[in-house]
Structure 1
Amino acid sequence: MNPLGFGDPLRLGPYRLLGVLGEGGMGKVYLAAGADGSPAAVKVLRPELAHDQHLAQRFVREAHTAQAVRSRGVARVLDAQMEGGRPWIATEFLAGPTLDQAVARYGPLDEPTVRALAAALGETLRDIHAAGLIHRDVKPPNIVLTSDGPRVIDFGIARPEHGLTLTTTGQIPVTPGYGAPEQVLGRRVTGAADVFSLGAVLVYAATGRRAYEGAHVAAVQYAVVHEQPNLVGLPPALHQLIAPCLAREPELRPTPEQIAQAFVPDRRATRDVWRRGPLHQEVKRRETEIARQTKAAASTVVAGAAAPSRRRFLAAWGGGGALLLAGGGGTAWWLGGREEHTLPPAGDAPEAPLLDQAGAGIRPTPLWGPVDVAATGPLPPPVVLRDVVVFPDREGGLTALKVVDGSTKWKLPGLSKVARQIPLNLTEFAAADASGRLVVHDASTSAEGWSLPEAEAAFLLAAVPDTLYLLTTKGGLRAVDVATRTIRWTVPSTERVTDTRGPLAAAADDHLVLSGSDGTVTAYAKATGSRAWELRGQSTETLQPAIDDGTVYLGGRTLTAVALTTGKQQWSIAPSPQRSWGPPAVDADGVTATQGRAVRRYAKDGSSPDFWYADLNGDFPDPQPPVVQGDCLWTVESANGDSGVSGISIPEGKRVWTYERDNTGPWAMTAKANRVFLISKGKVAALPTF
């Protein structure tokens, strides 16, 4: 949970807001305390969307949809109102983990628990369908485990039975591997589609893997429509019960009521299974702690005490339910009596205007800079989020400059430049301090969202929305569960960190891909940390891998594409003699990499070998890949020559201009919002593109 920020309300109706649980394209969800101290989740439509009558009606319809379902298996709607021109919905707050979080942390469920899960969800789907609705998105993240059993959440796309499944641009998506064949094909659906999704959920719960898998989304959807599910590992009794749910033809699937009756006829056994084991203990800890927090908040108001500053609510609810102080190491409700520093306002930066190619060949004038403030020496690429660019400061810690004018927005002197900083989501970045404490900050305001003192973070590698990967101070490779703020797994690693140098990695879907110091590329499973595959001899040094749509692109002795899940080679291109490939850059239209004194661009399937070729002034590989922005590809001209950073026209494959031709670097480079950010010799500049 993150603290309330600027623009967040303190109260809506009878609910006092305590922190931000999450946000999406339409709104934010807050943890709130009711007048009686009961916890609630309050969902609020974004202010910029509230004036859109269609969206507002859709938002309110979600509340009415959920209210129509009379079932113990869903999160109850407590209230829904329009306040200050902004509609909001209050529902029960479910403190337990989602099914995917539980399986990732504790492993697959045993057979009695799977039976109880199936029976409870069957009853819930029966009640949803009895209200004339189809949920349409039954999947592990939409199932919350509580001390009373599983609850189904997210009625945002539930609609009456006569509606069609929408799958094209701008319409309702189908979750790959869980949507029924008729949903994938865009055909009319019935409640049987939810039964298919339930079958896929039960396979995942019992085995820890999906019934339908593939290297990319299209492959998964193809498997759903044309292939048999992978049911290996299911106990025979569960196999014969789950398999009918995954029938391709809707009429061959059982009804939710038949599922509820077939899986667990003994209702007492169903109740007892949710009241034992480590999973139950975690659920109870979460529920007890969140109830304590909301009751404390309600009693503070009743007693007439001064409301604590929203900026003092700088704690994060971890996997055990404790609110960790910003400094780490203890639990508390408020940071009472502590002086707070003034945080800058949050904001987003507009895109810079693109230049016309008529100016090709003329050295670009920076949009701003160079600003002499960054640390010197090799640096990781700066992080650009919202309205700031973040990088190591010369005097220690991290600094953020505004992307529009290069002025300083904030400084965080306590953070390590060696550990690196990486984006965690669209608004936050992760870093570490000298003690190894993992810290997550809002990029725009610098407010600390949450921390994990026991992370022992030495070097941050990569992140996906639910998982952050790092090297530990004790020589381990570690995965941190972002949702629960806990350590998911740690495995031994031979990689070491020197200054700001270390292994380079990329993450996507269910795997981390790590390029080690000796050039060996290894993929690790997100759920367990086990090695999925290994590619030795790819390079003689660590090179940044790139991942796109289920494919890993690698530089080194060859320019190679391999499948993310299996490591199977899809294509490979050898360089000219004694010239290796630099790390590749992948964009929507192609893959580009440097090779010797040239930069070459190919189609993403490895075809079109003469897509284009451009001459460079030096020998490669450079440690970092090119970056793409607008119709321009930016690349360091030489890792050891005498030329700076050049922009190359993607349509023509020709150099447009070169910035600081005599600067040998090293360079740190990234791009966003039609701006290219360059750091060299401690100076930061933002350049335009076309």
Structure 2
Amino acid sequence: MKPLESGDPIRLGPYRVLAVLGEGGMGKVYVGQDAEGRPAAVKVLHPHLAHDQNLTQRFVREAQMARAVTGGSVARVLDARTEGGRPWIASEFLTGPTLDDAVRDHGPLDEPTVRALATALAVALRDIHAAGLVHRDLKPANIVLTASGPRVIDFGIARPEHGLTLTTTGQVPVTPGYGAPEQVLGQRVGPPADIFSLGAVLVYAASGQRAYEGAHVAAVQYEVVHGAPRLDRVPPALQPLIGPCLAKDPAARPVPEQLTRAFDPPRGAERAWRGGPIAQEISTREHHLHRLTTLPGEPAGPRALSRRRLLTGVAIGGSVLAVGGGAAWWNRRADGPFDIPPAVATPKARVLDAKKGDYVLGEAPDPLWSVTSALAKDTPAPLPVRDVIIVGAAKGGIAARDVVDGSLRWSAPEAVAERRYLSLSDELVAAVDGSGVLLTFVASTGAPKWTAPAEAASLLAADDEAVYLITKDGRVRAVGRGDAKIRWTVRVDADLGTKAASRGLAAHGVLVIATADGGVVAVDASNGRTVWELRGQSAQGRAKLALSGRTLCVTGKRLSAVDLTGGRRLWAAKNPEPPDKSPVFWGPPTIHGKHVYASVLQFPLRYDLRDGKPSDWGYSGLLECDPPSPLVVQGGGFWSVAVNKTQGGVNVVDLSSQGRPSWVFRIIKNPDAYWLEADANRVFVLDGTTLSALPVF
């Protein structure tokens, strides 16, 4: 969500416009609020399209028709009008992640849940078709998973059954891979087109992959019209049910009533949305948005929103408002220890372009800034948090430096940097003092907030609910972020070490700990109960961890991927065979998009995150790096560190090519004390006690 800009409306009909949710080719979506405090997502045509009178009339008329859709499986269109020449559509808010987000973050749904999903969506299509409409854009991003079940959104611009595609010149009329063949070909579209889209949605939900894929849009559309869907990863029992939905001939596809009978979910399958990681995500969003339910007191302003009315996930047109990161619709009070101001905007650096003369090909540009003697010798890795970067201060404590110029923004001398620091939703920085008290500070300003007498030896991780730490007597403890109270304390069957020897990650209700003895332990974040463990992952201290969705990558003796919630190994990369038969050691993993990067035998390699297949990335043998080097992808480059006994440099390779480094920054003077972090088009280099920021291309 973004703040309003010049040119954005202040009010649309009964809705006060508060912020921007998203923008697409046809229009912009705003957060709106009526006089009773009820929120709505208000979609407005772009000004240049609003001048088309026919388009404007159709936009509003067809949205008004969509209000005739009844049933609890769709998002209701609340109102649609033309205000001052600009047409708008207001839709209700829904609670929960989109199906697209849920599968990406938590993996494919199991068979009973897919059956429940199919049944709910078939009912939604039945209701839409009964109103004389065709949705025409059913896709995972237009399906919201709520506690009461899946809900279909963005049918406010659905077409009447006899209508043609509403597009502007040059636009693709359907979402590639989800629109039916007749849509791709520009033919008349009826209810069977939605059934085709439903089939493609179910393939994605059941397998995590699209039914039709290609290197570009035209290739995907060709596969839709002429190719066969990819059903190989769909559970065998579901393949004969989904397959008919994807028939090329619209007449051969089933109708919604047939689908509800065919999928026949087992008893209790509808409760899938009220338990497990998806339900926990809904609950977490509710917890955070509850803090935003009161508007500032203004005599003429809308009254406070009740918790019942204000739903936690904002979804319209495939856009979801995630409030855990600190974005707020309105200002909050910030005078109490738990009144936390929203996270500030992240100032992005400019991306350099050789064609514009920003640098000379073959030569590395100068750093954006560099501050010597800025860090403590034993500082943990720098931690970028929006507009500041947190480090261990040279004179003790922790310090926040401005990401734009490296200047000192604030410091907390009472904090002990060696005990680590964490970002709490980019709003707060958590640290520990010499007595083991948990401290929190506003990230951008350093203003102190809540504290907790946690007896902490070091910090592990944090999620939206709690901060997780190791106590002085070697136990794991959770401290609630909403009340600073100890939630639970447990002793795990592993060596956690001393002096912050263990590291952790927390997501989707699971806390994962890389222990000091080379193992990995996962505990339930709600009670500390051990849910799975992996022994002997590393022979050289802690295993290294990286997370994307619920896929956890672990390096040490090998590179492997495991399911975060269950600990099941998904795949493992084949270890190379060193000529001298020495033990193999994998460096820290880095996940970027659909790939995971890790170095082995001094060579960085890239693997497909989904199945562990080696990439055709051609740098093996050309680019060497220090085995413990962190690997960073930022801008258009891949960054790593190569060192010898006395010095080193940062190598940067253009990801769009396959060759030797494009840039080499020969700035590493301390080959035993360096690190790389990256954010917002900057790469931060820790070199001994020097901190630098490098540009990206």
The alignment's TM-score, normalised by the length of structure 2, stands at: 0.60
What SS does the corresponding residue of 1:194 show, helix, strand or coil? helix
Task: Give yes or no for contact 2:560–2:572 (8 Å, CA) kept in 1.
Answer: yes
Q: How far, CA to CA, are the matches of 1:400 and 1:437 in structure 2?
A: 21
Instruction: Give 2:675's match in structure 1, choosing from 657, 664, 668.
Output: 668
Q: Unmatched 5+ residue regions in structure 2?
A: 215-219, 305-309, 314-322, 482-486, 609-613
What are the within-5 Å matches in structure 2 for residues 369-518 of structure 1? 369-370=370-371, 373-374=374-375, 376-383=377-384, 385=386, 388-392=387-391, 394=393, 396=397, 399-403=400-404, 405-407=405-407, 418=419, 420-421=421-422, 431-432=429-430, 459=459, 471=468, 494=494, 496=496, 499=499, 501-503=501-503, 516-518=515-517
Instruction: Give 1:637's match in structure 2, choosing from 640, 643, 646.
Output: 643
- Which residue is 2:143 aligned to? 142
Task: Give yes or no for contact 1:138–1:194 (8 Å, CA) kept in 2.
Answer: no
User: Sequence identity, in percent?
Assistant: 28
Instruction: Give 1:612's match in structure 2, choosing from 584, 602, 621.
Output: 621
- Which residue is 2:307 aligned to? none
Encode CA deviations 1:319-357: one digit per residue, 9 max, x unaligned.
9xxxxx99x9xxxx9749879999977754322455656
- Which residue is 1:573 aligned to? 576
Quote how far apart the aligned CAs of 1:133 are: 2.1
- Which residue is 2:153 aligned to? 153
Q: How far, CA to CA, are the matches of 1:291 and 1:411 in structure 2?
A: 31
- Which residue is 2:631 aligned to? 625
Cα 1:252–1:527 shift into 2, 3 Å: farther
Cα 1:263–1:31 shift into 2, 3 Å: same
Quote how far apart the aligned CAs of 1:154 are: 2.7
Q: How far, CA to CA, are the matches of 2:59 and 2:20 in structure 1?
A: 19
Instruction: Give 1:68's match in structure 2, choosing from 61, 65, 68.
Output: 65
- Which residue is 1:211 aligned to? 206
Cα 1:159–1:197 shift into 2, 3 Å: same
Task: Give yes or no for contact 1:39–1:93 (8 Å, CA) kept in 2.
Answer: no
What are the within-5 Å matches in structure 2 for residues 120-519 of structure 1? 121-129=121-129, 130-139=131-140, 142-143=143-144, 145=146, 151-155=151-155, 158=158, 179=178, 190-195=190-195, 210-213=205-208, 224-227=229-232, 229-230=234-235, 248=247, 251-258=251-258, 304=300, 335=333, 347-353=347-353, 356=359, 360=363, 365-370=366-371, 373-374=374-375, 376-383=377-384, 385=386, 388-392=387-391, 394=393, 396=397, 399-403=400-404, 405-407=405-407, 418=419, 420-421=421-422, 431-432=429-430, 459=459, 471=468, 494=494, 496=496, 499=499, 501-503=501-503, 516-519=515-518
Quote how far apart the aligned CAs of 1:677 are: 1.5
What are the within-5 Å matches in structure 2 for residues 679-690 of structure 1? 679-688=686-695
- Which residue is 2:484 aligned to? none
- Which residue is 1:39 aligned to? 38
What SS does the corresponding residue of 2:651 show, helix, strand or coil? strand
Task: Give yes or no for contact 1:40–1:92 (8 Å, CA) kept in 2.
Answer: yes
Quote how far apart the aligned CAs of 1:72 are: 2.3
Q: How far, CA to CA, are the matches of 2:290 and 2:124 in structure 1?
A: 25
- Which residue is 2:217 aligned to? none
Quote how far apart the aligned CAs of 1:370 are: 1.5
Q: Unmatched 5+ residue regions in structure 1?
A: 205-209, 309-315, 320-324, 482-486
Quote how far apart the aligned CAs of 1:131 are: 3.4
Instruction: Give 2:660's match in structure 1, choosing from 650, 653, 666.
Output: 653
Task: Give yes or no for contact 1:627–1:635 (8 Å, CA) kept in 2.
Answer: no
Bigger CA drift: 546-555 or 187-196?
546-555
Quote how far apart the aligned CAs of 1:34 are: 1.7
The one-letter code matched in structure 2 to 1:624 is P
The one-letter code matched in structure 2 to 1:71 is V
What SS does the corresponding residue of 2:126 show, helix, strand or coil? helix
Cα 1:283–1:396 shift into 2, 3 Å: closer
Q: How far, CA to CA, are the matches of 1:291 and 1:552 in structure 2?
A: 30
Q: How far, CA to CA, are the matches of 1:531 and 1:91 in structure 2?
A: 41
Determine if the alignment matches structure 1 residue 583 to structure 2 residue 578.
no
Cα 1:649–1:470 shift into 2, 3 Å: same
The one-letter code matched in structure 1 to 2:192 is A
Encode CA deviations 1:565-591: one digit per residue, 9 max, x unaligned.
843335332345336343355779998
Task: Give yes or no for contact 2:119–2:263 (8 Å, CA) kept in 1.
Answer: yes
Quote how far apart the aligned CAs of 1:685 are: 1.4
Q: How far, CA to CA, are the matches of 1:520 and 1:656 in structure 2?
A: 37
Cα 1:457–1:51 shift into 2, 3 Å: farther
Determine if the alignment matches structure 1 residue 93 to structure 2 residue 93.
yes
Encode CA deviations 1:238-259: one digit per residue, 9 max, x unaligned.
x99x668756565444322555
Cα 1:33–1:390 shift into 2, 3 Å: same
Quote how far apart the aligned CAs of 1:635 are: 0.7
Encode CA deviations 1:157-185: one digit per residue, 9 max, x unaligned.
8557677899xx98588699xx5886999
The one-letter code matched in structure 2 to 1:612 is G
Q: How far, CA to CA, are the matches of 2:20 and 2:627 in structure 1?
A: 43
Q: How far, CA to CA, are the matches of 1:609 and 1:273 in structure 2?
A: 47
Q: How far, CA to CA, are the matches of 2:476 and 2:537 in structure 1?
A: 23
Task: Give yes or no for contact 1:678–1:685 (8 Å, CA) kept in 2.
Answer: yes
Q: How far, CA to CA, are the matches of 1:284 and 1:373 in structure 2?
A: 41
Alignment length (residue pairs): 611
Encode CA deviations 1:138-170: one digit per residue, 9 max, x unaligned.
5497245487x864223388557677899xx98
The alignment's TM-score, normalised by the length of structure 1, stands at: 0.61
What SS does the corresponding residue of 2:124 show, helix, strand or coil? helix
Cα 1:585–1:31 shift into 2, 3 Å: closer
Q: How far, CA to CA, are the matches of 2:448 and 2:57 in structure 1?
A: 33
Quote how far apart the aligned CAs of 1:317 are: 7.6
Q: How far, CA to CA, are the matches of 2:151 and 2:448 in structure 1?
A: 31
The one-letter code matched in structure 1 to 2:368 is L
Cα 1:16–1:549 shift into 2, 3 Å: closer
The one-letter code matched in structure 1 to 2:577 is A
